[in-house]
Amino acid sequence: MRKYLALIIASCLAQAGLAQQFAQDSTWILNNYTKKEFQIPMRDGKKLFTSVYLPKDATEKHPILFTRTPYTVAPYGTAFSPRLWMLDYRYFARENYIIVFQDVRGRWMSEGEFVDVRPFNANKKTNDEIDEASDTYDAIDWMVKNLPDNNGNVGVFGTSYPGFYSTMAGLSGHPALKAVSPQAPVTDWFQGDDFHHNGAFCLMDAFAFYVTAGFGHPRPQPTTARPNVTLKLPKNDNYETYLRIGALKNFLALTGDSIQFWKDMFAHPNRDAFWEARDARNSLQHFPANTASLVVGGTYDAEDCFGAWRTYEAIEKKAKNNNKVVMGPWYHGQWMMQDGDHLGHVRFGDNTSHYYQNQIEIPFFNYYLKGKGDISHIPEASVYFTGANEWKNLPQWPVAEKKDQPIYLQESGLLSWSKPTAKASFSEYVSDPKTPVPYTEDIHYTRTRDYMTDDQRFAAHRSDVLTFQTPVLENDLTLGGTVIADLLASITTTDADFVVKVIDVFPDDFKYPGFVDNTSRTAGTGDYPMGGYQMLVRGEIMRGRFRNSFATPEAFKPNKVERVKFELPDIAHTFKKGHRLMIQIQSSWFPLFDRNPQQFVDIYKCSDADFKKANIKIHHDAANSSSIILPVIP
């Protein structure tokens, strides 16, 4: 998340055509906008640093587009932010929006104390009781009263952590706030977003974000300077580096005592009141009916895919506003950019980002903030189905026709819609924490975004990965909704993780139109053989101790068959005729997630000596029929 803008700039400048377009846009914006900076007072007296870009056009009143961020509104001073012409803000500039960025409380040049995913307080009684909703309210109130030529209408949007602040903005209830768009919003950091999935710790992302990128380092006073990160790790192979560091307590020892939220995560290994208060869904019953919402995300977002689906779902269930969802085939934030036609080696056929920006995002905000245009063409759910490579305009999500159908694991690595009939049948593997299954076959220093569609043939070749697949499909199979893993497992130890991957196996003679032979040429990757490609469509992990409760973990009884049932985030994908559906099951996904010692110990405090091998059996017989419940759209 922290390196987001730098990566965008580097990627875009590498493409000459885009560079020329950005040069034209930047020239126009510099000529038609002025920049001002303000310290906006909050109700408790603290002031938040705010950069405002004002259109010079004085022929009409302008709406305000507001983004609150912990990642800095830089550059400070007279220089303009390249966000204005390199991201989707450029379309808002062409519409003469007043564009506003604000450092949230306690970050960069804003006063006050920063609190990660600060809980919403619905019962504030004094001016000293603040939260992100009240800070948003106070900022909006000041802007509509003080910014020249504004029309009194405000919209808020942001991606990732700013997506969380967009959700909180909706809870502010300010009458001028007409529309919000939480995009890949941080929603629940224990169950499904950046730092935990089903209780398993996202080691690589959490350590990189809070420690090596410096986000969690203290900032006692307002500053424009980036934190001084003294910890240096080898910059070659993250798999080997993280394996050598070892148990989680060794990572904590590297960081010292100064990084508060890093310590908080170690102090709250289970879903307790600390995590419940930080689940944004728990407050969405307070979302006002007169504020429209457009929740946006990517089905291949490595950070906050869960947050987009589940925020939309919670608003839909708890609020009474006009609420819509858009999910494209995107990595984290790709909908803001200009290259939405592929991810890794997998190609989508058209520029999905341009479609979203021009056909959905701009019309949505123009309608609510300018009273301009018509949004009857924007359905309840705009969802892009990969495989078929097409947008579906849907009246609801999940679609009414969807049927949850179990596909059963069978002997000899088969998948079938029929329940197994054998009296005793299982597949087994040995999970060894000393040689965990890597999340990708390539050597990397930082976590890749492309792993979300990576080829899984490297994993299928490992003895600690179980593989099940259908025969060649005789008809298209379309899945749209939440996938549920329903495993009947027995282990020789007292704890284990379970990773389930849903995979599209391409035909051996697969060719992309316009490509030579059966290879995909993607910028920077050269040729890659797509025949037989095992495309990861969705993968998810479950920490076994939380199989019955995230709040109250339970040990496994060795060799006893127990149910491990958990959700994978929603998918939208068509397995085409001639392809196969594959399921892979494993018990590590490293260093994407920390290693389970496979003993019922406190994982955040245990030592390297506590890591043990486990024999794991996945049962598939008449009495214990493991299955993957698929959301099939007829």
How do strand 98-103 and strand 62-69 relate by DSSP bridges?
parallel
| Mean of pLDDT values over 285-289 | 97
Phi, psi of 116 (to 5 degrees): -60, 135
The residue-averaged pLDDT of 466-475 equals 98
Mean pLDDT confidence for 111-138: 98
User: Do 444 and 607 form a contact (C-beta atoms < 8 A)?
Assistant: no
Residue 600: partners with Cβ closer than 8 Å, 6 or more residues away:
494, 495, 545, 553, 555, 556
Burial (0-12, 13-18, 19+ Cβ within 10 Å), 45: exposed
Q: In the structure, what pLDDT confidence band is assigned to residue 513 with cuts at 50, 70 and 90?
A: confident
Average pLDDT on 580-606 reads: 98
Angle value at C-alpha 91, between 98 and 35, nearest 5 degrees: 35
- Residue 150, CA atoms < 13 Å, CB-side half-sphere: 26
Amino acid letter, 514: G
Angle at 174 between CA 173 and CA 180, to 5 degrees: 75
Strands 323-328, 62-69: pairing is unpaired
Residue 165 pLDDT greater than 60, yes or no: yes
Q: What is the 3-state secondary structure (H, E, C) of 286-335?
A: HCCCCCEEEEEEECCCCCCHHHHHHHHHHHHHHCCCCEEEEEECCCCCHH
Does the pLDDT of residue 363 top 80, yes or no?
A: yes
- Per-residue pLDDT at 269: 98
Cα distance between residue 80 and residue 51, in whole Å:
10
pLDDT confidence of residue 235: 83
% of the chain beyond a pLDDT of 70: 95
Rounded to whole angstroms, the Cα distance separating 568 from 185 reads 18
**Residue pointed to by tokens 């497992």:** 489
Confirm if 504 and 611 have CB atoms less than 8 A apart: no
Q: How confident is the model at residue 527 (pLDDT cuts 50, 70, 90)?
A: confident
Asked whether the predicted pLDDT for residue 9 surpasses 60, the reply is: no
Q: How confident is the model at residue 257 (pLDDT cuts 50, 70, 90)?
A: confident
pLDDT at position 13 over 60: no
- Identify the pLDDT of residue 497: 98
Amino acid at 231: L
Q: How far is CA 91 from the centre of its chain?
A: 24
pLDDT tens, position by position, 410-427: 999 999 999 999 999 999
pLDDT at 2: 44
More confident residue, 4 or 348: 348
Residue 520 has a pLDDT of 58
In whole angstroms, give the CA distance from residue 383 to residue 397.
Answer: 9
Q: Which two tokens stand for residue 456?
A: 């899984």
Residue 622's pLDDT band (cuts 50, 70, 90): very high
pLDDT above 60: residue 8? no
Q: Which CATH class is domain 403-633?
A: mainly beta
Is the pLDDT at 14 greater than 70? The verdict is: no
Q: How many beta carbons lie within 10 A of that of residue 35, not counting itself?
A: 17
Q: What is the pLDDT of residue 3?
A: 46
Report d(CA 85, CA 6) in Å as an integer: 14
**Average of per-residue pLDDT across 80-104:** 97
- pLDDT-derived band at 519, boundaries 50, 70, 90: low
pLDDT at residue 6, rounded to an integer: 52
Q: Is the pLDDT of residue 543 over 70?
A: yes
Summary mean pLDDT of the chain: 95
Kindly report the number of other CB atoms within 10 A of residue 514's CB atom. Answer: 7
Kindly tell me if the per-residue pLDDT of 469 is higher than 60. yes
Q: Do 186 and 279 contact (CB within 8 A), yes or no?
A: no
| 114: nearest Cα among 105, 123, 122, 125 | 105
Classify burial at 374, counting beta carbons within 10 Å of its beta carbon; exposed 0-12, middle 13-18, buried 19 or more: exposed
Q: φ, ψ for residue 273 (rounded to 5)?
A: -60, -30
Mean pLDDT computed over 364-383? 97
Judged by average pLDDT, the poorest of 20-24, 84-88, 270-274 is 20-24
The number of C-alpha atoms within 13 Å of 627 and in the hemisphere containing its C-beta is 18
Report whether pLDDT(351) > 50. yes
Edge-first strand order for the sheet with 534-543 is 466-469, 580-586, 497-505, 534-543
Q: Looking at the chain, which residues constitute the CATH 2.60.120.260 domain(s)?
A: 403-633
Structure tokens at 435: 């040689």
Fold of 4-188+278-394: Rossmann fold (3.40.50)
**Mean pLDDT (whole number) for 563-589:** 98
* DSSP symbols for 205-233: HHHIIIIIS-TTS---S--SSPP------
Q: Where in the chain is the domain with CATH 3.40.50.1820?
A: 4-188+278-394
Q: With bands split at pLDDT 50, 70 and 90, how would you rate the model's confidence at 350? A: confident
pLDDT, tens digit, for every residue of 195-236?
A: 999 999 999 999 999 999 999 999 999 999 999 999 988 888
Q: 431-470: b or e for each residue (b if 16 or more CB lie within 10 Å)?
A: bbbeebbbbbeeebeebbbbbbbbbbeebbeeebbbbbbb
Where helices occur in 108-229 by DSSP H, the ranges are: 132-146, 161-170, 203-207
Query: How far is Cα 453 from Cα 441, in angstroms, rounded to an integer?
Result: 13
> Residue 407 forms beta bridges with which residues?
628
Cα dist from 199 to 211, 275, 626, whole Å: 21, 11, 22
The residue among 246 and 524 whose pLDDT is bigger is: 246
Which tokens is 454 given? Answer: 């990576």
- Quickly list DSSP for 67-113: EEESS--PSPSSPPPTHHHHSTHHHHHHTT-EEEEEEPTTSTT--S-
- Average pLDDT estimate for 452-462: 98
User: In Å, what is the CA distance from 297 to each residue of 305, 333, 547?
Assistant: 6, 8, 27
Cα R_g (the chain), whole angstroms: 25
The percent of residues in the chain predicted with pLDDT above 90, rounded, is 91
